[in-house]
Chains A and B, each alone.
Chain A
């Protein structure tokens, strides 16, 4: 009886553990989108998946009202686009909200519409600093 209870307990733990893992990290291996240009994100991927909307909303107020721009604007949408934008066969940037691109693929998976791009530009404006560094890096 004791062993049965122990087994039940272990099975229960495994089940809840498994469920917790399933809800914590969605299986994004099903999603296809271009590889980011940079080596690492401004925050850990898990944090970005859950909190990117809050981070960019906080940044937007900092930029809009306090004029914090450029390199000090760590969580700027512009930074996201520069790093995550994909390029087509003609080496032309593809809109980040187009099908199969970074923002759209995940938002489509999560069934959440994106409002950003009714106003914001969807590709880097002019030369993309992230792309340049990626292309000149011989190790990539």
Chain B
């Protein structure tokens, strides 16, 4: 058994070494480096080579605009029933107010896709989990609707479904008695689109989505070049969602 495992790890090491550092010489002096790719082969499991993240610029986010919220709920079939106290919210606009100056501005708030998610820590069934590529999800097959994760989340990112649901989208099953939240449009990510509904809908370019592990991705370059913040960084959750100009 242990011999087998050694053999396997040796093989995967060789495989990784072969794919990770693929360098092709096109012509003398011209070398093509194969950079870490966000896309993966069909049928291959997600890996931690990629970590999905988002940068939100509060300065660009327009007052009163809720395009990202509408697009998200449309994409994922999150129907609003006109009952704000219990309607599910995968993304919402929150208003921040500076007490000194009275200046108010809105930012979109969604699941922060933490590296160390408190919702996963407290889940008694293992339904709340983090994928290898950093996307935090609820496996509704094993969610018992206890809502511990909703209490643990510092960002109020999760919603409980109180009523029977019909006419779901086929990529986003949802049903009564389970908890749900932003999935970073995992179906789009898995299809290799590398974007989310909210990012596509934002006409003010306030949202950038991408691979935090890839230094050449737009989101990484923006994070490297200008200051940004994690909300409640004191909790040391290392969120995948970062904010600028707040």
Contacts and interface: CB of A to CB of B under 8 A. Distances in A.
Nearest to A118: B175
**Majority-rule SS of B interface residues:** loop
Contact of B42 (A66, A70, A118, A120): A70
Given A69-B187, A119-B175, A64 B170 contact: no
B146 interface: no
A124 interface: yes
Contacts of B43: 68, 72
A125 interface: yes
A121 B129 contact: no
Contact of B174 (A67, A119, A124): A119
**Majority-rule SS of A interface residues:** helix
Nearest to B186: A67
Given A70-B190, A119-B165, A119-B168, A65 B173 contact: no
Contacts of A52: none
A71 interface: yes
Contacts of A118: 164, 175-176
A64 B45 contact: no
A70 B191 contact: yes
Q: How many of chain A's residues touch chain B, expressed as a range?
A: 10 to 19
B169 interface: yes
B187 A64 contact: no
A119 B187 contact: no
Contact of A60 (B44, B45, B137, B141): B141
Interface of B: 42-46, 129, 131-133, 137, 139-141, 164-165, 167-171, 173-176, 178, 186-187, 189-191
Given A67-B190, A118-B164, A119-B173, 11 more contacts: A64-B137, A65-B129, A65-B131, A67-B45, A68-B190, A69-B187, A71-B42, A119-B165, A119-B174, A119-B178, A121-B167
19 contacts: A60-B141, A65-B129, A67-B46, A67-B133, A67-B186, A69-B187, A70-B191, A72-B42, A72-B43, A118-B175, A119-B165, A119-B168, A119-B173, A120-B168, A120-B173, A121-B167, A121-B168, A125-B169, A125-B171
